[in-house]
Amino acid sequence: MIRYTLLLTLLLVVVSPTLANGEATHRMDRIVDRTAAAADRPADLPPQTTELENGVRVHMTPYETDGRATVRLAIRAGSAYESASEAGLAEVTARWMARRSASTERGAVRLDVRITHDAMVFSADVAASAVPSTIKRLRDLADSRDAAVTRGSALDAARKETAARFDQMASVPSDARQQLREALYGSASYGRPQPAARQIRSYTPADVESFVARFVAPERTDLYIVGSFRPADVLESARKHMEPWTATATGPSLRVRTPKTKDVVVVDRAGRSEVAVAVGAPVVAPGHTDYAALQVATTLIGGGHASRLAQASLPEATSSPYSLLSDHRRTTYWAAVVATRPTQTRPAVQTIRRILQNLRETTPDTTAVKRAQTMLIDRFLMQSSTRDGLTEQMMFLGQHELDVDYFLTYRERIQAVSPSDVQRVVDTYLSPERLTYVVTGPKRIIDPQIAPVERQMP
């Protein structure tokens, strides 16, 4: 707890550069006073993470801001846990759970529902006084093993909301990324295909009940509280409301196939007026000594308007090209995505290859590396300045089984990356033989352009 307070002290001061010197000093003094007071009486404070008797892990990050707190429940039952015939079922189930527990009372807490590959996530931003009742609400939501699922409004609304979200997600770049994940991981776990609306509408009460029984249980659950609250009171409330939940998960643990490269995959989207090229490779996970250098390299390649992808000659690009590191519970992959016109498929592929080849063969200049480092640190500090952002960071630590030192030393690690480190990790992890190319669009136009490029690949 002391170390978390120190981390928040550092972040809250660093992200307030616009404060006048006197005000900044006064704020710093107040924060340090609170830190010192906590250090004088550590026995009064519960640990930052406490595992309850039923397996629920409670993560508390208290700091005074505006008298509010973010309360979040994350259940490791995301889309990666679905079977091959269950695409979209995790989200239908989560939205049904939220609908089932919704209160019609005026002023009732509103829950945000989000599904990731790894988890169902339910969040609420509440006044400090409402934290205990929100914890109870989240327990009622999660403890749905014996709740009857009917074809009534809750399930119907859940299916409708899920179908609408997948429809909103549909885009040429996102389709290419999905196809890239499937090429790397197969149709299971992180390669699960996006479901059609008719599949989502087909899920029955029995399907939802089965998913709850297999994956919604205390041992798969984390409760996060970030912001203004009294830790001892919150822990007492968590024990009171969460520990009576005694369900046991019967479903298997997450099984992730080792990513495999497939050279070039063309996915026919006949009649489409756009093509998307997605290039990817499996890389190391957060916590590995090379991950910071990969973050800098990824930002340098496609992390903003000054990146190499953004500055490349792609006159017919239909959206901003980008690169990213996608980290999941047991695997991480790198990707670069370019969307363009079908006649520009070959130039798009060659542009990505040329950027990577140049970085493998030539050390990038110091100015570009420093620009990428600044972007990463600024993004990290901005995220750390909000309750929601801090909650995301706490979830990140738990997902990758990292200690708080990961964030305490984040800035130092990013700044320590040298231009030669960037060149080394690109050469090591993004070498030609490790890359998978996925192209989505009209195959009859793509194939003649891709064939000469394929022959040049190792």
For a pLDDT cut of 90, what percent of the chain falls above it? 61
Which domain CATH number covers 121?
3.30.830.10
C-alpha dihedral, 101 to 167 to 443 to 440, nearest 10° = -60
Mean confidence (pLDDT) of the chain: 85
Contact 34, 64 (CB under 8 A): yes
State the pairing for strand pair 264-268/436-441: parallel
Strand-pairing partners, residue 438, are 265, 278
C-alpha 359/C-alpha 403 separation (Å) is 32
Assess whether 283 and 227 both reside in one domain: no
Return the residue matching tokens 């003649």. Answer: 448
Assess whether 342 and 374 both reside in one domain: yes
Instruction: Kindly report, residue by residue over 401-422, the tens digit of the pLDDT.
Output: 898 889 889 999 999 999 999 9
C-alpha 453/C-alpha 171 separation (Å) is 25
DSSP string, 376-393: HHHHHHHHHTSHHHHHHH
Question: In the predicted model, what is the mean pLDDT of residues 82-88?
Answer: 90
Domain-embedded: residue 256? no
Assess whether 164 and 273 both reside in one domain: no
Domain-embedded: residue 257? no
Instruction: Kindly report, residue by residue over 93-112, the tens digit of the pLDDT.
Output: 999 999 887 765 555 678 89
Structural domain containing residue 226: 46-242
The confidence band for 252, taking pLDDT boundaries of 50, 70 and 90, is: confident
The candidate with the shortest Cα–Cα distance to 123, out of 328, 386, 327, 392, is: 392
Q: What total number of domains does the chain contain?
A: 3
Domain-embedded: residue 378? yes
The confidence band for 34, taking pLDDT boundaries of 50, 70 and 90, is: very low
C-alpha 144/C-alpha 97 separation (Å) is 7
Assess whether 29 and 75 both reside in one domain: no
State the pairing for strand pair 221-227/57-62: parallel
Assess whether 237 and 312 both reside in one domain: no
Tokens of 78: 């995301």
C-alpha 211/C-alpha 165 separation (Å) is 20
Domain-embedded: residue 168? yes
Question: Which residue type, as a one-letter code, is found at position 315?
Answer: P
Assess whether 228 and 169 both reside in one domain: yes
Q: How far is CA 100 from CA 35, 95, 154, 192, 414, in A?
A: 42, 8, 6, 27, 44
Assess whether 36 and 161 both reside in one domain: no
Assess whether 190 and 228 both reside in one domain: yes
Q: Which of 82-86, 115-119, 149-153, 234-238 has the lowest mean pLDDT?
A: 149-153
Assess whether 398 and 270 both reside in one domain: yes
The candidate with the shortest Cα–Cα distance to 275, out of 382, 361, 171, 198, is: 171
The confidence band for 29, taking pLDDT boundaries of 50, 70 and 90, is: very low
More confident residue, 401 or 18: 401
Question: In the predicted model, what is the mean pLDDT of residues 339-367?
Answer: 94
Q: Which of 15-29, 172-186, 262-276 has the lowest mean pLDDT?
A: 15-29
Domain-embedded: residue 227? yes
Hey, how many other C-beta atoms are within 10 angstroms of the C-beta on 244?
11
Domain-embedded: residue 178? yes
Assess whether 29 and 62 both reside in one domain: no
What are the phi and psi torsion angles at 250 (to 5°)? Answer: -110, -10
Instruction: Kindly report, residue by residue over 387-402, the tens digit of the pLDDT.
Output: 999 999 999 998 898 9
Assess whether 316 and 450 both reside in one domain: yes
Domain-embedded: residue 336? yes
C-alpha 176/C-alpha 157 separation (Å) is 29
Domain-embedded: residue 250? no
Assess whether 212 and 328 both reside in one domain: no
